[in-house]
Amino acid sequence: MSVRRPPGTLAAAALIARKDLAIEFRTRSAFLAALTFSLIAIVIFFFAWDATAVGAVDLAPGVLWVIFTFSGLLGLHRSFGVEEADRAIDALLASPVDREAVFLGKALANLAFVLGVQAVAIPAVALFYNLPLTRVIAPLAGIAVLAAIGLVSVGTLFSAMASNTRLAELLLPVLALPFFVPIVLPAAQSTARLLSGRPVVEAMSWLRILIAFDIVFVVACALAFPFTLED
């Protein structure tokens, strides 16, 4: 029996996140699906809403954040599916790492996934709608990170629950979408203000809601996660 020290919470979370990303990188299918979905959706929205009749700057924020929501949902499914398949989750829970680390690790992997998709989707929207992206890229990236944090906290928790039920794929959107509204609305409103050239400070009142949401729900979901595990 060798002397050893099991990893602490953050180290364990990093370990689990790396493992999840390694699995995703190996197959890449979920990432490619989410990416393809985003691009196709952008095209469909572009043709469905005539950007000559209404300003592109008015349409683009809505399109961007709606696609963000639904492509995010696509990515969240795989998070616990891979643990359920051969009950790998049992090995994880039987190990010395604590439950918060499992949540944090999976949320971090989901965050990387969502931000990866956004890194392609945002420029794609800018391209289609002729947006002055270079001007606003920094604050827009900031909004994307804040929105992704909120989406991933709620989404990771609900996908842990949904993976244990009969209607997994259908249940996740039904449960999660009401919770995504306080993310999408501030994100879209601040993006609209940024794109119209208004100063960042005007978007601050919306961003405050988003930041508050992130703080409250990261904590609440991390605390709620152990209750989704059988005890």
Partner 1 sequence: MTSSNRIADRDRFDWLLAAAVVAMVATFARVIYFTPIEARQGAAQKIFYLHAPSAFIGLYVGFGLVALAGALYLWLRDERLDRIAASSAEVGVVFTTVVLLTGPMWGKPIWGTWWTWDARLTLTLFIWFVFVGYLILRGAIEDPATRARYSAVLGVLGALLVPFIHLSVYLFRTLHPMPILLKPGRPSLPSDMLATFAMSFISLSLLFVALLRARYRLAETRDALEAEDSADVSSVASLHAQPVR
Partner 2 sequence: MPLAAELAAPNAPTAIEAIGLMRSFGRRVAIRDLTFQIRDGECLALFGPNGAGKTTLLRVLAGLLRPTRGTARVAGVDLPGGADARAVVGLISHQTMLYAALTALENVEFSARLYGVPDPRAAAVRALDRMRLAERADSPVRSLSRGMQQRVSIARAIVHDPRVVLLDEPYTGLDEGGASALSDALQSSRSAGAALVLVTHHLSEGLALATHTAIMRDGLFVQYEARGTLGVDAYRDLYRDAVAR
Residue 87 binds partner 2 (CB under 8 A): yes
* x-marked contacts with partner 1 along 176-195 as a string, rule CB under 8 A: -xxx-xx--xx--x------
* x-marked contacts with partner 2 along 8-37 as a string, rule CB under 8 A: ----x--x---x--xx--xx----------
Tell the residue number behind the tokens 């989901």, with chain if given.
Answer: 110
φ, ψ (nearest 5 deg) of residue 201: -60, -25
Indicate the residue among 40 and 223 with the shorter CB distance to partner 1.
223
Residue 23 contact, options partner 1, partner 2, none, Cβ 5-8 Å cut-off depending on partner type: partner 2
| Residue 59, both tokens | 């349409």
Query: Which residue in 90, 132, 170, 196 binds partner 2 (CB under 8 A)?
Result: 90
Rg of the Cα atoms in the chain:
19
d(CA 168, CA 176): 12
d(CA 110, CA 16): 11
Indicate the residue among 22 and 215 with the shorter CB distance to partner 2.
22
Pick the stretch among 76-84, 94-102, 122-130, 159-167 that binds partner 1 (CB under 8 A).
Answer: 159-167
Residue 75 binds partner 1 (CB under 8 A): no
For residue 192, the one-letter residue type is A
Residue 97 binds partner 2 (CB under 8 A): yes
d(CA 60, CA 123): 11
Mutual angle of helices 168-195 and 133-162, in 10-degree steps: 160
Residue 220 binds partner 1 (CB under 8 A): yes
Indicate the residue among 31 and 65 with the shorter CB distance to partner 1.
65
| Residue 108, both tokens | 């971090």
Residue 200 binds partner 1 (CB under 8 A): no
Pick the stretch among 30-38, 58-66, 125-133, 175-183 that binds partner 1 (CB under 8 A).
Answer: 175-183
Residue 33 binds partner 1 (CB under 8 A): no
d(CA 91, CA 84): 11
Indicate the residue among 58 and 98 with the shorter CB distance to partner 2.
98
The binding site for partner 1 (CB under 8 A) comprises: 154, 157, 161, 164-167, 171, 174-175, 177-179, 181-182, 185-186, 189, 205-206, 209, 212-213, 216-217, 220-221, 224, 227-228, 230
